[in-house]
């Protein structure tokens, strides 16, 4: 007699397929940064906006979209988000200027913000059994890590034969498969949360989050005068305060603020922000080091970084087992400590002669961070009732996107600062050109192309030496941050041995 797969596992398959293109889009772009920088003539500031406008805007959209999905149904929002994501990918692929590419990334953020909370919300509603939910979230994490692993490799392969826009266009055939599969498998009738979706409150929340994040970005990067940065920050905090007061007074709030009073959920959100931010920054740093300094092709760079993501694909289901066996506190904190050690090793390793040790340590980093982040997902989903699955999923997705955006911002700004102070400028370089050179290694390559051959070659050599030193400082800093996070998580998870937050 032929075994029949329970419908809940088929639903899991559908939402994992829906989640895949969003993850691929996040990692595939890192490998394309040098190519699109040179092709579009993008400045360092434009490159940062191209990369992090997507996660930063999603950070403001995820909670409203998650609560909207709880109100009208995850299936409807998910299918709409997949359609928007496909259209935006096509526009991004053929963008002729940095400004238009940024605009396409904004549309991608809208689609992604509709997809991510629905995926987690559907998993929470579908799997009531805690152990099954842990395994389902582990498998979901595996697909996310696998997509991240495939992203750099696929991106590198595409850039070997096609233009940079192909890294976006690859999403279109994926969508052609995902949309009909999700349409058929997801239940048409689902439980929804009563109440209206207040668009005014949603706009206040979106404006508040984006204002605060922009102020942090502008303040750290020094791209705006201090009075402007402070004004935007004050406006953002005021909007968030107004939103919070509205939620406390509402009988059916858009966001249940009492969720933040649950220690495990709060710790898991902090963990997601810091850990995913460090990982995003590390990936970006390595992608630039491999291509700019080691002269690897995009495909070679993608292959070099496979260990970190391939090992992360194993960490998802392993995290489900370990969390059930040993508890969230031990799994989350120890995985972060191991991650910190791996980062510290890679920070001082010679990437010119990596041997076996560097790939092994990259694999250890990917495995450890995947285990820890999946444990945080289990904690968040276990901390809420099924009816609040969309809201909890939105909070987790917000933490991931906010962490990614801020991680890239801080790493990018820190990178520019260290690089600018480290590079030894060639003699007789004009002041305006010297100012451009000190912004980033990408700008240095653009300036070198404008100089006579001998002077340009000398500038490239100086840029490579400076970035190698910068890379070590960045990864060592990330190791310290993740190590401190391990201590914070250990303290906040106190008394929570089991995998559930109840």
For 459, residues 6+ apart whose C-beta sits below 8 A from its C-beta are: 425, 426, 429, 437, 444, 447, 448, 451
Question: CATH for 256-495, among 2.30.30.240, 1.20.1250.20, 1.10.10.60, 1.20.140.10?
Answer: 1.20.1250.20
Q: Which of 114, 157, 144 is nearest to 23 (CA)?
A: 144
Angle at 468 between CA 463 and CA 469, to 5 degrees: 100
CA distance linking residue 310 with residue 383, whole number of Å: 29
pLDDT number for residue 223: 60
pLDDT number for residue 342: 92
Helix (H) or strand (E) holding 250: none
CB of 97 closer than 8 Å to CB of 355: no
Q: Please state whether the predicted TM-score (pTM) of the whole model is above 0.75.
A: no
**Cβ neighbours, 10 Å, residue 57:** 24
pLDDT number for residue 191: 66
User: DSSP letters of 143-195?
Assistant: HHHHHHHHHHHHHHHHHHHS-TTHHHHTHHHHHHHHHHHHHHHS-SS-----S
CB of 493 closer than 8 Å to CB of 330: no
**Cβ neighbours, 10 Å, residue 352:** 8
Question: CATH for 1-189, among 3.40.50.1110, 3.30.43.10, 3.40.640.10, 1.20.1250.20?
Answer: 1.20.1250.20
pLDDT number for residue 222: 57
pLDDT number for residue 318: 80
CA distance linking residue 483 with residue 333, whole number of Å: 9
Structure tokens at 79: 């299918």
Per-residue pLDDT of the chain (502 residues; tens, 9 = 90+): 344 567 778 788 878 878 877 777 766 776 677 777 777 877 766 777 787 777 677 777 877 887 788 777 778 888 899 999 989 999 988 888 888 888 898 899 889 888 887 887 778 777 777 777 777 777 776 676 666 656 666 777 777 777 778 878 878 887 888 888 878 877 776 666 666 777 787 788 888 877 887 777 666 555 667 788 888 889 989 998 998 888 888 776 767 677 676 777 777 788 877 777 777 777 778 878 888 888 887 777 777 877 877 787 777 778 777 877 787 788 888 988 999 999 999 888 888 777 888 899 989 988 888 888 777 777 776 666 655 656 666 677 667 766 766 777 777 777 777 888 888 887 777 778 888 888 778 788 888 888 888 888 888 888 888 888 888 888 888 888 888 888 888 887 765 544 444 4
CA distance linking residue 279 with residue 407, whole number of Å: 8
pLDDT number for residue 238: 93
Query: Are 1-189 and 256-495 in the same CATH fold?
Result: yes
Show me where the domains of the chain are located.
1-189, 196-254, 256-495
CA distance linking residue 214 with residue 161, whole number of Å: 36
pLDDT number for residue 499: 44
């Amino acid at each position: 007699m032929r075994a029949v797969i329970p419908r809940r596992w088929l639903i899991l398959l559908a939402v994992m397929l829906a989640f895949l293109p969003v993850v691929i889009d996040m990692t595939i772009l890192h490998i394309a940064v040098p190519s699109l920088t040179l092709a579009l003539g993008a400045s360092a500031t434009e490159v940062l906006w191209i990369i992090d406008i997507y996660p930063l805007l999603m950070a403001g959209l995820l909670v409203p979209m998650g609560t909207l999905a709880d109100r009208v149904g995850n299936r409807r929002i998910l299918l709409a988000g997949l359609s928007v994501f496909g259209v935006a990918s096509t526009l991004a692929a053929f963008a002729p200027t940095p400004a238009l590419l940024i605009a396409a990334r904004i549309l991608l953020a809208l689609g992604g913000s509709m997809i991510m909370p629905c995926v987690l919300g559907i998993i929470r509603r579908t799997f009531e059994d805690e152990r099954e939910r842990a395994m389902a979230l582990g498998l979901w994490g595996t697909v996310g890590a696998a997509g991240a692993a495939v992203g750099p490799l696929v991106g590198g392969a595409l850039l070997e034969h096609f233009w940079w826009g192909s890294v976006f266009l690859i999403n279109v055939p994926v969508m052609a498969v995902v949309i009909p599969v999700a349409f058929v498998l997801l239940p048409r009738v689902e439980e929804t949360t009563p109440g209206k979706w207040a668009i005014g409150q949603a706009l206040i929340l979106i404006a508040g989050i984006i204002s605060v994040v922009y102020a942090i970005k502008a303040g750290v990067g020094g791209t705006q005068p201090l009075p402007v940065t402070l004004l935007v920050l004050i406006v953002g905090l005021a909007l968030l305060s107004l939103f919070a007061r509205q939620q406390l007074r509402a009988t059916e709030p858009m966001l249940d603020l009492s969720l933040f009073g649950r220690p495990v959920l709060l710790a898991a959100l902090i963990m997601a922000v810091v850990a995913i931010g460090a990982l995003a920054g590390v990936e970006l740093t390595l992608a630039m080091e491999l291509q700019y300094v080691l002269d690897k092709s995009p495909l070679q760079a993608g292959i070099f970084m496979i260990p970190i993501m391939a090992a992360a694909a194993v960490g998802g289901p392993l995290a489900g087992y370990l969390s059930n066996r040993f508890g969230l506190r031990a799994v989350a904190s120890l995985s972060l400590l191991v991650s910190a050690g791996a980062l510290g090793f890679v920070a001082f390793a010679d990437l010119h002669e990596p041997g076996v040790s560097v790939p092994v340590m990259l694999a250890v980093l990917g495995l450890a961070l995947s285990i820890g982040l999946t444990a945080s997902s289990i904690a968040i989903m276990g901390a809420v009732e099924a009816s609040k699955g969309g809201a909890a999923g939105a909070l987790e997705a917000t933490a991931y996107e906010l962490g990614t955006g801020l991680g890239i911002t801080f790493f990018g700004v820190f990178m520019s600062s260290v690089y600018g102070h480290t590079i030894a400028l060639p003699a007789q370089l004009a002041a305006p050109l010297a100012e451009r050179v000190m912004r980033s290694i990408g700008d240095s390559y653009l300036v070198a192309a404008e100089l006579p051959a001998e002077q340009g070659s000398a500038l490239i050599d100086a840029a490579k030496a400076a970035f190698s030193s910068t890379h070590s400082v960045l990864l060592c800093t990330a190791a310290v941050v993740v190590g401190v996070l391990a201590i914070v998580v250990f303290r906040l998870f106190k008394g929570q041995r089991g995998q559930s937050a109840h």
